[in-house]
């Protein structure tokens, strides 16, 4: 399944993988519920590690980071393996997303 807007694309068409690209500036954590439902469904249905590829995500505001953190906490509760792939050349990803590792020691974060 794919959610496509003028600003971002969320693609969960590959089993155990979700990719997010573009720029997400939604107004509140609640406003991320619908687009991030693809990540939640993929987490529920994954047969192995769920990989969330963020290498083409140019911007994610604090509401989006909060929503992503909630999904990581859900993965921890469900004991599901999760991996984030982040982009070394996008400064906010290095600064912000690496701190999500504190939410769950089994979260794998790969920088490329």
Q: What is the mean pLDDT of the chain?
A: 95
* Residue 42 · residue 58 · CB < 8 Å: no
Task: Indicate the burial class of 53 (C-beta count within 10 angstroms; 0-12, 13-18, 19 or more).
Answer: buried
Only one residue has tokens 């690496």, namely 98
Q: Structural domain boundaries of the chain? A: 2-111
Q: Give the model's pLDDT for residue 9.
A: 98
CATH topology assigned to domain 2-111? Transcription Regulator spoIIAA (3.30.750)
Q: What's the average model confidence in pLDDT over 1-9?
A: 96
Q: Give the model's pLDDT for residue 39.
A: 96
Q: Give the model's pLDDT for residue 47.
A: 87
Q: Give the model's pLDDT for residue 103.
A: 93
Q: Give the model's pLDDT for residue 105.
A: 87
Give the pLDDT confidence of 47-82 residue by residue, as tens digits: 899 999 999 999 999 999 999 999 999 999 999 999
Strand partners, 50: 82
**CA atoms of 112 and 104, how far apart (whole Å):** 21
| Sheet containing 2-4: order of strands | 2-4, 8-14, 17-24, 50-60, 82-86, 108-111
On whether the pTM is more than 0.75, the answer is yes
């Amino acid at each position: 399944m794919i959610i496509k807007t003028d600003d971002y694309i969320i693609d969960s068409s590959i089993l155990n993988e979700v990719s997010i690209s573009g720029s997400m500036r939604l107004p509140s954590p609640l406003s991320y519920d619908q687009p991030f439902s693809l990540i939640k469904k993929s987490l529920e249905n994954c047969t192995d590690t769920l990989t969330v590829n963020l290498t083409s995500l140019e911007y994610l505001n604090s509401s989006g980071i909060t929503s992503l953190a909630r999904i990581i906490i859900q993965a921890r509760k469900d004991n599901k393996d999760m991996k984030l792939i982040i982009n070394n050349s996008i400064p906010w990803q290095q600064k912000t997303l690496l701190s999500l590792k504190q939410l769950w020691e089994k979260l794998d974060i790969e920088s490329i």
